[in-house]
Amino acid sequence: MSTVAKAVSLLEALGQGEPERTLADLARSVDFDKATTRRLLLALMDQGLVEQDEGSRLYRLGIGVARLALMREAQFPFLRTAIPVADALAARTGETVHFSEHSNRGLISVHVVESSKANRVAVPVGETLPLHATASGIAFMAFADRRVMDAALGGKLESYTPHTVTNPAAIRELVSAARARGYSIGAQGYEDGVFSVAAPILGARGTAVGAIAIAAPRARVEPADMETMGSAVVESAFQISERLTGRRTKIANDKS
């Protein structure tokens, strides 16, 4: 693992769980020795990406992370564009809504609005969503460059639950159905007891840059709810896409 990769893994560890961590805890979570962990933390502190509390000596993410996020958001305003739409969709459905953005590291959950109900689906921010096993991943592949799907299905596909589809031909059928329908349906492929629908968020080129999804406990979803939730998520995805690109980029059936 390169030095940069190690530093990034430390930042990711600091972004999960407790907001402040000890040196020993961080070293264990990333599986580095303490000396390496401390050296990397000092380098990150020099750049303002990590801070250490002078009293407790605990480490936390630094303001430099926010600075980089703001720079990125200024160039590509994904979060501030999508958050109001996600909030409205969560209020409308009463279920957990999350949206994700694609990067070289995969489809990453970047914002979650949890349902206020006691029995609800939790989706961690920063989680990498497997393309083959999630509604978000299927919806994204349905409207992404075809090479994205070819790459995602080219290797061994992990099974997360007894319901995970791992046969590439079957997954391509799910992708085709999502492309024709405008949204995907996920039934316990990534987590037992979870039902979800998702639609792609389209960028300036008309291809998917992310996805927005509704996730609910399977026991609470009736067959009649699927189309209603699907229509709602497509409408929200369309609103985000339009605001991102400044034009009405319809989620349409792909005939290619």
Q: Where are the beta strands (DSSP E) in the chain?
A: 50-52, 59-61, 96-103, 106-113, 128-129, 184-187, 194-202, 208-217
pLDDT at 244 over 90: no
d(CA 236, CA 240) in angstroms, rounded, equals: 6
Cβ contacts of 3 within 8 Å, gap of 6 or more: 40
Q: What is the pLDDT at residue 130?
A: 94
pLDDT at 76 over 80: no
pLDDT tier at 87 (50, 70, 90 boundaries)? very high
Phi, psi values for residue 38, rounded to 5°: -65, -40
Tell me the per-residue pLDDT of 203-234, one tens digit each, with 9 for 90 and over: 878 899 999 999 999 989 888 888 899 999 99
Domain ranges of the chain: 3-68, 76-245
pLDDT at 35 over 80: yes
**For the chain, what is the largest distance between any 2 Cα atoms, rounded to a whole number of angstroms?**
62
User: 54-58, 85-89, 93-97 — which is least confidently predicted?
Assistant: 54-58
Domain 3-68 maps to which CATH number in 1.10.10.10, 3.40.50.920, 1.20.120.50, 1.20.140.10? 1.10.10.10
Here the tokens at position 23 are 């040196």
d(CA 186, CA 213) in angstroms, rounded, equals: 10
Q: What is the pLDDT at residue 254?
A: 42
Phi, psi values for residue 106, rounded to 5°: 120, -165
Burial class, 147, CB count within 10 angstroms (exposed 0-12 / middle 13-18 / buried 19+): exposed
Q: Are 101 and 79 in contact (CB under 8 A)?
A: no
Q: Do domains 3-68 and 76-245 have the same CATH topology?
A: no
Strands 96-103 and 106-113: antiparallel
User: 7-11, 34-38, 167-171 — which is least confidently predicted?
Assistant: 7-11
Tell me the per-residue pLDDT of 188-209, one tens digit each, with 9 for 90 and over: 999 999 999 999 999 878 899 9
Q: Is 183 helix (H, G, I), strand (E, B) or coil?
A: coil
d(CA 96, CA 119) in angstroms, rounded, equals: 10
Phi-psi region at 202: left, alpha or beta (left = phi > 0; alpha = psi -120 to 50): beta
d(CA 183, CA 238) in angstroms, rounded, equals: 11
Q: Percentage of the chain surpassing pLDDT 70? A: 93
Q: What is the pLDDT at residue 79?
A: 82
Which superfamily, per CATH, for 76-245?
GAF domain (3.30.450.40)
Q: pTM above 0.95?
A: no
